[in-house]
Amino acid sequence: MSTPGPVDALLAQLASGALPAHVRLGAARGGLPLAPADLLRVQSHLALSDPEASVREAATEALLACDAGELAEIASGEGISLEAAAFFAQTPGIDSRILEALCRNPACPDNPIAHLALGAKTRIIEALLLNQVRLIRSPAVLEALESNPGLTAGQRGRLAEIRKHFLAVPDDEPLPPALQAEMEAAMREAEEEETTRASAPPGAAASEETDGPVPAVEGAAAIDEGLSTYQRIIRMSPNDKVKLAYRGSAEERALLIRDANRVVARSVLRSGRCSEKEVEGFANQRSLGEEVLRTIAASREWTKNYAVVLGLVRNPKTPPGMSLGFLQRLVNRDLNILGGDRNVTEVVRQTARRAFVARTAGRGGGK
């Protein structure tokens, strides 16, 4: 996503109507000395949002006339903007290479992808299905794709597998005692191995490191190496998932944290390899179960991180009692935003609003 800078200021002027029509028309036609990605962002904004039809049409025509290969390269990059992604997703006639690049780009915002998923054709559907991490992370994208009338039976089956294995609501009933004991034993074994690995001499530890996913899961030996990460994981036994949660990669943990089995998800959070950045992402994900968020919120180590706290408070799945306990940690700007956020529970929103008013009374708002 684009960082604040001159282009943001220009977009703010465009949105406010401060620039005359002839200036906006020139910008729509590509007449600004900007880098390609920045120019694409401005033209996309004009194509979608300008109040005058002539400006919207000029921007759309100019973008459709651009080289599709160059646009696909921008669409696949980390700097893809929300405006450009929204334009590609909403505009008829966009080259399929651009749309495929957009679907495969993990940096692309979810909202445009959800819009695109509603009416995507076969090739684009396949591109969306290849990014299982996005489908699991964003239920809105998954639901939009499930609503697509062009899905084949096989594609619907793949979506059903994702929902079953990673988005099923965990049963509130306790696990059978035998399975609980077996999985806890697997957790202890994995923790002991991690402790042994961490205490090994530096040279020995370094020799064991690899650039790819850690393959030290017993059941993984029988799994076809040609399968995707998602396909490998759904074929694993619960015990092997627990072990992978401790030993695996960030991509594998992003899938395992959503596993319907609570012990598997808990193992991800107990893994010494789970980074603070990953936990920030988990705290912001509204499709995670309450137990996962409760575990994060109860950790003093993780909640030292302001981004984790903010993500938890803004997440409607976080138990309200825990969210309320974090409100005093928020800066005024975030407290004010939370007071108007209708995605959180009423008690959290009202308490945030009252706290903001109490803090800023007579002080002009502050930061």
Residue bearing tokens 């200036």: 23
The mean pLDDT of the chain is 82
Angle between helices 153-166 and 122-130 (to 10 degrees): 20
Residue 234 has pLDDT above 60, yes or no: yes
Q: Does residue 271 come out as left (phi exceeding 0), alpha (psi in the -120 to 50 range) or beta? A: beta
Q: What is the mean pLDDT of residues 45-52?
A: 92
What confidence score (pLDDT) does residue 210 get? 38
State pTM to two decimals.
Answer: 0.52
DSSP state of 148: -
Task: Tell me: pLDDT of 185 over 50.
Answer: yes
User: In this structure, what DSSP letter does residue 329 have?
Assistant: G
Q: What is the pLDDT of residues 250-275, one digit of tens each?
A: 999 999 998 888 888 888 988 888 99
Query: Taking 70 as the threshold, does the pLDDT of residue 222 lie above it?
Result: no
**pLDDT bucket at 3, cuts 50 / 70 / 90:** very low
How distant, in Å, are the alpha carbons of 5, 186, 306, 335 from that of 345?
A: 34, 37, 21, 14
Determine the average pLDDT of the residues in 304-319.
93
* Long-range contacts (CB closer than 8 Å, 24 or more residues apart) made by 138-144: 138/110, 138/113, 138/114, 138/287, 139/167, 139/286, 139/287, 140/110, 140/111, 140/114, 141/110, 141/113, 141/114, 141/117, 142/167, 143/114, 144/114, 144/115, 144/117, 144/118
Check pLDDT > 90 for residue 188. no
Whether the CB-CB separation of 197 and 246 falls below 8 Å is answered with: no
- What are the tokens at 239? 């015990």
DSSP notation for 50-96: -SSHHHHHHHHHHHHTS-HHHHHHHHTSTT--HHHHHHHHHSTT--H
Distance CA 273, CA 244 (A): 11
What secondary structure letter does DSSP report for 109? -
> What is the C-alpha separation between 63 and 164, in angstroms, rounded?
41
Entry field: residues in the chain: 367
pLDDT digit string, tens, across residues 89-105: 999 999 999 999 999 88
- Rounded Cα distance between 219 and 362, Å, is 64
What is the C-alpha to C-alpha distance for residues 48 and 141, in angstroms, rounded to an integer?
21
Q: pLDDT tens digit string along 55-93?
A: 999 999 999 999 999 999 999 998 899 999 999 999 999
Q: Report the largest interatomic distance among the alpha carbons of the chain, rounded to a whole angstrom.
A: 74
Cα radius of gyration (the chain): 24
Check residues 329 and 260 and name the one with the higher pLDDT.
329
Q: In a 3-state reduction of DSSP, which class is residue 105?
A: coil
* Average pLDDT, integer, range 193-221: 50
